[in-house]
A and B are shown apart, each in its own frame.
Chain A
Amino acid sequence: MVSPEAEKSNYRRYLDPRTLAKIGALDIRARLIVEGFVTGMHRSPYKGFSIEFAQHRPYSTGDDIKYIDWKVFGRTDRHYIKQYEEETNLQVMLVVDASTSMNFAGEANPNWRKFDHAVSIAASMAYVALHQQDSAGLAIFDSKLRRLIRPSNNPRQWRILIDELTSTTGGAKTDAGMILDAVAEELRHRSLIIFISDLFDDPGKIIKGIRHLRYRRHDLIVLQVLDHEELEFPFRATTMFKGVELPSEVIVEPQAIREAYMEELRRHTDEIRTACHQLHVDYVQVDTGVPLDVSLPGFLASRESRMK
């Protein structure tokens, strides 16, 4: 029996060095510019009026006269506008599903739940963000928003997030749509929201929540975490399946129903994937059977290439 203290101290297992080494070699870049002026590597496409001077440009009609560099005018008798290079502060909000369905673990690795996989991803992302002086926050939910930690780049934030992730236990049915709405209401600044869930909910509600976040101009990455058994349905013997969220059970011959089941799953994910594409949201399906150090770098690399 592992004590809670020991479990907490074991949080670093979510930060597999191999995983982090690969993620560290890549840049997380936001597709949209969010507000903020902390130093970091995320250069803003906008030249504004901030702390760091960038360049001068000739004054043109309509420019605010308060930005005219009078010293230059005194030396050159010409009006120049003083421009500063603005660096944005990326706010990363990790939204992690802790519903009952996330407790499912396949027979191949019964100690590795979907929730474990989701937490590992969240921890990895938070680490990278904080390491780059970005802000990172966390939202944990099941049928309601269980915990919300607002984004911060405080040096203690990393510890706070990790403690929260390792201590969380879910217990109710997923209500992802409602949660996305709630997160949208809670975030004041435009943020990069990493939504990690198995998305076992009504696709319409999920898409409505995504649309709400996009309306608030948040950047969104949807990571659908599914167990390898859920993706492949590799069973042969007659099995009684008991729902972990739904109070139903059914006896089936898996081979006879496999294709139909997979088609249902495919239809569900396709609906969400299509909506994400239309809303310029990144959608990634993560297989818990595939190691994190394989799946995450692939996703981030593709995302970086799209940014360029």
Chain B
Amino acid sequence: MLEAFINLHPDLPMAVLPFVSPWLFAGGAAATSIPVVIHLLNRRRFRVKQWAAMEFLLAAMRRNVRRLRLQRWLLLLLRILAILILAAAIAQFTPVGAALAPLLGSSQKLTVVVINNAYPMSLKPHGRRTAFERARQLVVAWLKSGTVSGKTAIIPASVNASSIAPEPVIPSAELIRRVSRMRASQGGENLAGALQQALEIVKKQKNRSSSRTVWLLTDDGADNFGTIGGDHRVLSRRMAALLADIRRAGARVRIIDLGSATARNMAITSLTPAHPAILTDKPVAVDYTVFNAAKTAARDVTLRFYLNSTPAGDTTLHSVPPGRLVRGEALLHEQAGEAGPLAITARLAPDALPADNTRRVIAMAQRHIPVLIVEGRPGDPAVGQLASTAWLGAALAPYRHGNSFKPQRIGELELADHSLKQFSAVVLSDTPAPGTHVAARLRKYVTAGGLLVIYPGPDTTGSQWSDTMGTGANGLLPAAMGAVMTPAGKGKSSGDVGFDLLRSINPVTAVFLAAEKGGLHTGLASVRTHQYMLLRPMAGSDSRTLLYFSNGAPALVERTIGRGHVLLWAVSADTQWTDFPAQPSFPAFIHRLMLYAMSNPAAAANMLVGQSVQMETRAAAGNWVGPDHSTLAVSRALIGGRPELTSEGISRSGFYGPADAAPAIAVNVDARWADVRHVPASQAARLWHINPRDILHNPTSLAAAEPAEAGAGGNAGHNLLYLALAVLAIESITARAFSRYQLAAAKGK
């Protein structure tokens, strides 16, 4: 009944029920009726005896009736009290009041239990329980063992984890219930965040507790020390610093290592469309990375791909080295077919950790990529003068039909009123510095995911651009635009500068560089530029120079703003300053650059477990359907003045979307934490700067692993047992004393 009551009132403060097993206490409380029932039964169940000396018996009764009644009630009370105390002892009574605790031997000790419940803890070795299940079982058994002393905080260490006991509480049935119901998250690890929380608790409770212990229950996998592709030293140092701070705050640290030396895992760590925009009439290409978290190489690893749940091809990796990330690109034999969101799935064969064997991505299939070209120098066909973007337009759409890009040209004056939202990229060529209104529109466009490409030209005044568009944190330009430079030289050609490809290694130039190294003439290396605008990337900003001139000056600078990008060229889009548009590499370079810098229009639809929906979409709000018919409450809200869909953090990986509609979002586990290879205690101790003896590998119980000085005491259970025995002894002595009193009183008469 009590359990049902607790279930009905999950928010009931734990202090109200200061028992580890309140139902046992309830049973014990009910058992207090036993002496009463026995008494009543004895009154009803008696034997009958014929008796001759009745006068003496009646006289004795008359003389002692009040005393007998008093004695009976007193003894009954003592028996009930003994049972009640016994019940409290069995139910592991934990005194709530600080004053009562020392009296009952329950000292104010603090234990902070950090349980790693990130998805790698779900790795299930063959025939064994997961590390998380063992961690949970250890904590529950410990809480139920009766050796728990003082207050306990339980902190899950995963991204977006539900809190268990973020503040120290007296262990109770409610706490046990919460821990028992704890589930391994599909989120990534957050050991540092959990330890930071533990540190705060230890500091706060330093003067309120006699001793402090922090337990970290984890698998000691490589993911505990760093992410795949990340710098392991960063997380390890952070962890070491936190553990040192915890020790300095007066707490002992125990690492409960529940990992397995044979743990291995194969994970798809990323899956993206090879190009931001997928064209409906072209085969879909995807990029992927696979990680082998094992001590031996994985052979013949097959990935199967699906487009909207339809098999779309597979690829086999003949060998994935241990602890290595293998990148690959797969060209699927299926096309998107129709414009709109496209659900792409990649799957590995199931292994001990299935959460990262499947990777999903939502891409936007388009018939073509719309590009808005704002022409600042339209030229004069009558005199044979080409527009400044003529070369660019030709490069983007070289054919009459079947072009990937669909450029649309407008004049600079039209920009103020022209809708930008429908274009994947906006190109400004040799336009005057835009006004404040246009600058604000452009900024909004880029922030929402658009690509802005700026070409200077003879009519461009760099200083005005810098002033209007801004270069700081709130600005739009990746670099300050300066004067137009003419390389020094005696002849025209002798003053020209080319591109410094060796200094400009990036995904855009990599192909050209490789081709050049392979002996192919791409033309990129022979580009000659005789005039350029001096660009000064902002120091400390997120600007990046993609292309350098041979004289070291930036030729192309990139900046990410919001979800979009800005590309700023130092040369004009035509051949006024450079011969690059006339080079054969120009169309390929432009295509590659645009696709590189353009954002995936469905980027907001791809997220990790723990993240929440925040996107502009035409999909309907309401309860979206997820994996295994789970639901996700999605509502529409105005964010930054724009209507967007929002939700709470998503806890499961899979596709989600409105019922009876195509998936709107793809949610994946954060596979950066997929490296489950076990780190030996000695190495872990070295990385975290702790004593190897403080790392306990697979202990049978937390009580056994508890530091000796912290393990003493326990809750008040043992002392209550003694108290119950004492009350029983008092009852026995009282009963005897009553008999003696009776005799003495009789003698006195």
Residues on the B chain within 8 Å of A226, using CB:
53
Q: Collect the chain A residues with CB atoms within 8 Å of residue B57's CB.
A: 241, 250, 252, 257, 261, 264
- Closest A residue to B749 by beta carbon equals A263
Q: 9 closest pairs, A vs B, by CB?
A: A243-B54, A260-B60, A263-B746, A104-B52, A264-B56, A101-B52, A241-B51, A261-B60, A259-B742
- On whether the beta carbons of B56 and A261 are closer than 8 Å, the reply is yes
Q: Which of A14-22, A133-141, A232-240 contacts B (4 or more CB under 8 A)?
A: A232-240
Which residues 73-102 of A have a CB within 8 angstroms of B? 100-102
Instruction: Select from chain B the residue with minimum beta-carbon distance to A202.
Output: B55
Query: Within 8 Å CB of B382, what residues of A?
Result: none
With A259-B743, A264-B59 in contact, is A238–B52 under 8 Å at CB? no
Q: Which of B47-67 contact A (CB under 8 A)?
A: 47-61, 63-64
| Docked CA distance A253–B739 (Å) | 13
Interface size of B in residues (CB-CB distance below 8 Å): 31
Q: A207-250 toward B: CB 8 Å interface, digit per residue (1/0)?
A: 00000000000000000001100100001011111111110101
Residue of A nearest to B744 (CB): A259
Given A259-B746, A260-B742, A260-B746, A250 contacting B49 (CB threshold 8 A): no
Partner of A260, one of B43, B50, B63: B63
Determine the residue in chain B with the shortest Cβ distance to A114: B52
Closest chain A residue to B63 by CB distance? A260
Contact B43 A251 (CB under 8 A): yes
When the two chains form their complex, are residues A248 and B58 in contact, meaning their CB atoms are under 8 A apart?
yes
Report how far A230 CA is from B742 CA in the complex, Å: 19
* B637 located at the interface, meaning its Cβ lies under 8 Å from any Cβ of chain A in the complex: no
- State which of A227, A235, A246, A255 has its C-beta within 8 Å of the C-beta of B55: A246
Docked Cα-Cα span, A103 to B51, in Å, equals 10
B399 interface residue, CB < 8 Å from A? Answer: no
Contacts A253-B42, A257-B68 given; indicate if A240 touches B743 (C-beta within 8 A). Answer: no
Q: Does A256 contact B (CB under 8 A)?
A: yes
Contacts of A101 in B (CB 8 A): 52-53
Residues of A within 8 A of B54 (CB): 241, 243-246, 248, 250
Inter-chain contact count A-B, CB under 8 Å?
107
Pick the residue among A114, A242, A244, A256 that contacts B68 (CB under 8 A).
Answer: A256
Q: A240-B48, A252-B61 are in contact. Are A200 and B53 (CB under 8 A)?
A: yes
The reply on A268 being an interface residue by CB < 8 A is yes
- B46 A238 Cβ-Cβ under 8 A: yes
0/1 per residue, B713-749, Cβ < 8 Å to A?
Answer: 0000000000000000000000000110011001101
1/0 per residue B451-494: CB within 8 Å of A? 00000000000000000000000000000000000000000000
The verdict on A142 contacting chain B, using a C-beta distance below 8 Å, is no
A239 touches B47 (CB 8 A): yes
A235: nearest chain-B partner, CB-CB: B49
Among B187-218, those with CB < 8 Å from A are none
Q: Which residues of B contact A (CB under 8 A)?
A: 42-43, 45-61, 63-64, 68, 71-72, 738-739, 742-743, 746-747, 749
Q: Which residues of B contact A268 (CB under 8 A)?
A: 56
> Does B52 contact A259, Cβ atoms closer than 8 Å?
no
CB distance from A160 to the nearest CB of B (A): 29
Complex: A268 Cα to B46 Cα, angstroms? 28
- Give complex CA distance A102, B53 in Å: 10
Let me know if B55 and A200 touch, CB within 8 A: yes
When chains A and B are docked, how far (Å) is the Cα of A265 from the Cα of B746?
A: 12
Contacts of B52 on A, CB cut-off 8 Å? 100-104, 114, 198, 200, 227, 230, 243-245
- B residues in contact with A103, CB < 8 Å: 52
Q: A245-B54, A248-B54, A256-B68 are in contact. Are A240 and B49 (CB under 8 A)?
A: yes
Q: A237 CA to B57 CA in the complex, in Å?
A: 16
Contacts of B72 in A (CB 8 A): 253, 256
A257 touching B64 by the CB < 8 A rule? yes
CB distance from A71 to the nearest CB of B (A): 67
Contact of B51 with A243 in the complex, beta carbons under 8 Å: yes
The chain A residue with its CB closest to the CB of B56 is A264
When distances are taken between beta carbons in the complex, the residues of chain A under 8 Å from B742 are 259-260
Complex alpha-carbon distance, A76 and B58, angstroms: 78
Pairwise interchain contact A259-B739, C-beta atoms closer than 8 A: yes
Q: Are A242 and B47 in contact (CB under 8 A)?
A: no
Cα–Cα, bound, A237→B44 (Å) = 12
Please report which residues of chain A, range 244-299, place their CB below 8 angstroms from some CB of chain B when the two chains form the complex: 244-246, 248, 250-253, 255-261, 263-265, 268
Besides A227-B52, A240-B49, A259-B743, 8 new A-B residue pairs in contact (Cβ under 8 A), listed by A number: A104-B50, A240-B47, A241-B49, A244-B52, A250-B57, A252-B57, A253-B42, A259-B742
Q: Looking at the assembled complex, report how far the CB atom of B35 sits from the nearest CB atom of chain A, in whole angstroms.
A: 13
| Partner of B60 from A237, A244, A263 at Cβ < 8 Å | A263
CB-defined contacts of A102 to chain B, threshold 8 Å: 52
Q: Across the interface, which residues of B come within 8 angstroms of A104, CB to CB?
A: 50-52
Closest to B746 in A: A263
Nearest-Cβ distance from residue B348 to partner chain A, whole angstroms: 77
Q: Give the docked Cα–Cα distance between A255 and B57 (Å).
A: 12
- Distance, CA A258 to CA B55, complexed state (A): 14
**Contact B51–A244 (Cβ < 8 Å):** yes
CB distance from A9 to the nearest CB of B (A): 29
B68 to chain A, nearest CB (A): 6
Q: Would you call B48 and A244 a contact (CB within 8 A)?
A: no
**CA–CA, A63 and B61, complex, Å:** 67
A260–B46 CB distance below 8 A: no
CA distance A104 to B61 in the complex (A): 21
Given A244-B54, A265-B53, A257 and B60 contact (CB-CB distance below 8 Å): yes
CA of A244 to CA of B71, assembled, Å: 29
> A257 touches which one: B45, B46, B61 (CB < 8 A)?
B61
CB pair B51 A238 closer than 8 Å: no
What chain B residues lie within 8 Å of A250 (beta carbons)? 54, 57-58, 61
Bound: A268/B51 CA distance, A: 17
Is A238's CB under 8 angstroms from B42's CB? yes
Distance (whole angstroms) from the CB of A230 to the closest CB of chain B:
5
CB <8 Å contact, A265 and B58: no
Of the candidates B48, B56, B71, B743, the one having the most CB atoms from chain A within 10 angstroms of its own CB is: B56
CA A260 to CA B743, docked complex, whole Å: 7
Bound-state CA distance A114–B53 (Å) is 12
By the criterion CB–CB under 8 Å, are B53 and A260 in contact?
A: no
Q: Would you call B50 and A242 a contact (CB within 8 A)?
A: yes
Query: Nearest Cβ distance between residue A196 and chain B, in whole angstroms?
Result: 15
The answer for the CA separation of A135 and B55 in the assembled complex, in Å, is: 37
A268 to B53, CA, bound (A): 11
A199–B360 CA distance with the chains assembled, in angstroms? 106
**Bound CA span A237–B48, Å:** 10
Report Cα–Cα, A250/B43, bound state, in Å: 11
Using Cβ atoms and an 8 Å threshold, which residues of chain B touch A245? 52, 54
Residues of B within 8 A of A241 (CB): 49-51, 54, 57
Q: A252-B61, A256-B71 are in contact. Are A240 and B746 (CB under 8 A)?
A: no
Nearest B residue (CB) for A101: B52
CA distance A198 to B743 in the complex (A): 24
Find chain A residues with CB under 8 A from B749 CB.
Answer: 263
A101 to B742, CA, bound (A): 27
Residues of B contacting A242 in the complex (Cβ-Cβ under 8 angstroms): 48-51
Residues of B within 8 A of A243 (CB): 51-52, 54
* Contact assessment for A239 and B46 in the assembled complex, using a CB-CB cutoff below 8 Å: yes
